[in-house]
Amino acid sequence: MTQENVLEALKNVTYPGFTKDIVTFGFVKDIVINGDTIGLTIDITSSADEVKAQLRLEATNELNKLGFKDVNINITAPEAPKQMSNSVSGKNIAPHIKNFVMVSSGKGGVGKSTTSVNIAVAMAMQGKKVGLLDADIYGPNIPRMMGVEDQKPEIQGNKAVPLKAYGVEIMSMGSLMEPGTSLIWRGSMIMKAIEQFLRDILWSELDVLVIDMPPGTGDAQLSLAQAVPITAGITVTTPQEVSLDDSRRSLDMFQKLHIPTAGIIENMSGFICPSCDTESDIFGMGTTEPVAKEYDTNVIARIPIEPAIRVGGDTGMPVTYHKPDSETAKRYQEAASNLLAFIDKVNAEGGADNSAVQPTTPPGVSACSTGAGAASAPAKTEGESCGTGCGCH
Ligand SMILES: Nc1ncnc2c1ncn2[C@@H]1O[C@H](COP(=O)(O)OP(=O)(O)OP(=O)(O)O)[C@@H](O)[C@H]1O
């Protein structure tokens, strides 16, 4: 048996999906014949496992027919493209961002933006490529807290370049609006804004995008969860019972939206006196632990009330960066480490998956205009959401 016999026989093996055979393509190389043993390489251009399996099977059959008993085929192929995002299925409109963290709170004013800022800065200080998206369209405070409130993002074509401070890429509705102006948001506008923040902003290939949500559980949260797979949800709460009730709603929302829950941040947990550095109880301390247990999650940090945090927020000088030796900076760093460990765990277990929260209507069909319910549904004014999350208005 000669190399020519072998090549002739392998001309019967067509490359999957094509009419040409693997010899004509020039894929067969390094044929070594030793009695009834043969070794060869098939060097292909596809990284698909099915292609490799089919070629191995068909080539082995042909060589067995020629009389070879021991057939050793080495198939070389380009490496499969690296999966940038941890999305295993479902929708991801920003696949170059590896992980998304949703920071939510049941009610306003509990320190959600302050937490988002300091955790983002802490992760950047720990060497991660971090972005911070201010999706709190009702009260976009992030530009002030990050010291970029006087800057406008550069526009390239129809996209915007994020601002940058403390090693963190930043985008906020506040940076796109005139200071002091307000927008009246309908549900459908919120959905579109969230998608645009992900699609039309030139984010780098980030390790983590921290997203500061509006308070509560509404259209913004649903839209975000449907647009990208959220790797981790954090809820921020203060220790009082009234706030805890609302944080339960946030935790329940994570479960309903299939968002892995990283845990609770108990903010304003005790007070650190600026003169004597002692810690005292004001709103309560440690009250979030039972709530975390209820939802099978953890308290990832307790952040005391510290005037330096408020000053840092007001002056655009986050405490984590500007007072790295303070007790609160250390706690934010610890929260960031806990969050990163949680993200690693989620990814090791297969990554986040938002396929279960996609709109259920087929592509191109509006949930608002089809089905038996549509005829009896109340008429909607232009631009009003039907509340199904279909984004059809
Ligand atoms: N641990 C803390 N110690 C001292 N001040 C704090 C602390 N956490 C937050 N603050 C201050 O409380 C105020 C409200 O915080 P922040 O804006 O972060 O809350 P929020 O939950 O994002 O509010 P909103 O829902 O209105 O966006 C800010 O002035 C902030 O500086």
Query: Taking the chain (393 residues) in consecutive chunks of 10 residues, what is each chunk's mean pLDDT?
Result: 92 88 92 94 84 93 94 86 53 92 92 97 97 90 95 89 96 82 74 89 95 89 92 94 86 94 94 80 82 94 92 96 94 96 93 84 45 38 43 38
Query: Is residue 108 part of an annotated ligand binding site?
Result: yes
- What's the pLDDT score for residue 82? 52
Query: Is residue 128 part of an annotated ligand binding site?
Result: no
Query: Is residue 113 part of an annotated ligand binding site?
Result: yes
Ligand 1, from 310, 314, 326, 332: best to mutate by most atoms within 8 Å of Cβ?
310
155 and 241, same domain (yes or no): yes
Nearest ligand 1 atom, CA 117 = 18
Nearest ligand 1 atom, CA 307 = 4
Residue-number span of the structural domain to which 22 is assigned: 3-76
pTM for this prediction:
0.73
Asked if residue 314 belongs to a domain, the reply is yes
Nearest ligand 1 atom, CA 304 = 1
Task: Tell me the CA–centroid distance for residue 222 and ligand 1, in Å.
Answer: 24
162 and 293, same domain (yes or no): yes
Task: Tell me the CA–centroid distance for residue 343 and ligand 1, in Å.
Answer: 25
Query: Is residue 39 part of an annotated ligand binding site?
Result: no
Give SS3 for 54.
helix
69 and 122, same domain (yes or no): no
Of the candidates 29, 50, 25, 42, the residue with the CA atom closest to the CA atom of residue 77? 42
Which residue, by CA, sits nearest to atom 6 of ligand 1?
310
Task: Tell me the CA–centroid distance for residue 173 and ligand 1, in Å.
Answer: 18
In the chain, the largest separation of any two C-alpha atoms, in whole Å, equals 92
Provide the domain count of the chain: 2
Asked if residue 392 belongs to a domain, the reply is no
Task: Tell me the CA–centroid distance for residue 70 and ligand 1, in Å.
Answer: 72
H/E segment holding residue 211:
strand 208-212
Task: Tell me the CA–centroid distance for residue 22 and ligand 1, in Å.
Answer: 65
Asked if residue 207 belongs to a domain, the reply is yes
Name residues contacting ligand 1 (CB within 6 A): 105, 108-114, 136, 139, 141, 215, 267-268, 303, 305-306, 309-310, 313
19 and 158, same domain (yes or no): no
Nearest ligand 1 atom, CA 267 = 1
- What's the pLDDT score for residue 81? 53
Nearest ligand 1 atom, CA 303 = 1
What number is the ipTM of this complex?
A: 0.97
163: domain CATH number is 3.40.50.300
Q: What is the CA radius of gyration of the chain?
A: 28
Which residue, by CA, sits nearest to atom 25 of ligand 1?
108
Asked if residue 158 belongs to a domain, the reply is yes
Asked if residue 387 belongs to a domain, the reply is no
350 and 247, same domain (yes or no): yes
CA atoms lying within 13 Å on the CB side of residue 168: 32
Task: Tell me the CA–centroid distance for residue 314 and ligand 1, in Å.
Answer: 10
Query: Is residue 107 part of an annotated ligand binding site?
Result: yes
Asked if residue 378 belongs to a domain, the reply is no
Whole-number Cα distances in Å, 376 to 70, 187, 347, 370, 371:
71, 21, 44, 11, 10
19 and 104, same domain (yes or no): no
Asked if residue 235 belongs to a domain, the reply is yes
116 and 198, same domain (yes or no): yes
Q: Is 180 left (phi over 0), alpha (psi -120 to 50) or beta?
A: left
11: domain CATH number is 3.30.300.130
Nearest ligand 1 atom, CA 236 = 21
CA angle 378, 379, 383 (to 5 degrees): 125
113 and 166, same domain (yes or no): yes
Task: Name residues whose C-beta falls within 8 Å of residue 159's C-beta, 6 or more positions apart in sequence.
Answer: 200, 201, 202
Q: Does residue 219 contact residue 191 with C-beta atoms inside 8 Å?
A: yes
Task: Tell me the CA–centroid distance for residue 238 and ligand 1, in Å.
Answer: 10
String of b and e for 72-85 (b: at least 16 CB within 10 Å)? Answer: ebebebeeeeeeeb
283 and 330, same domain (yes or no): yes
Task: Tell me the CA–centroid distance for residue 108 and ligand 1, in Å.
Answer: 9
Last residue of a domain, one of 61, 76, 91: 76
- What's the pLDDT score for residue 360? 62
192 and 45, same domain (yes or no): no
Find the DSSP H helices in 67-186.
112-125, 142-145, 173-176
Asked if residue 265 belongs to a domain, the reply is yes
57 and 129, same domain (yes or no): no
211 and 311, same domain (yes or no): yes
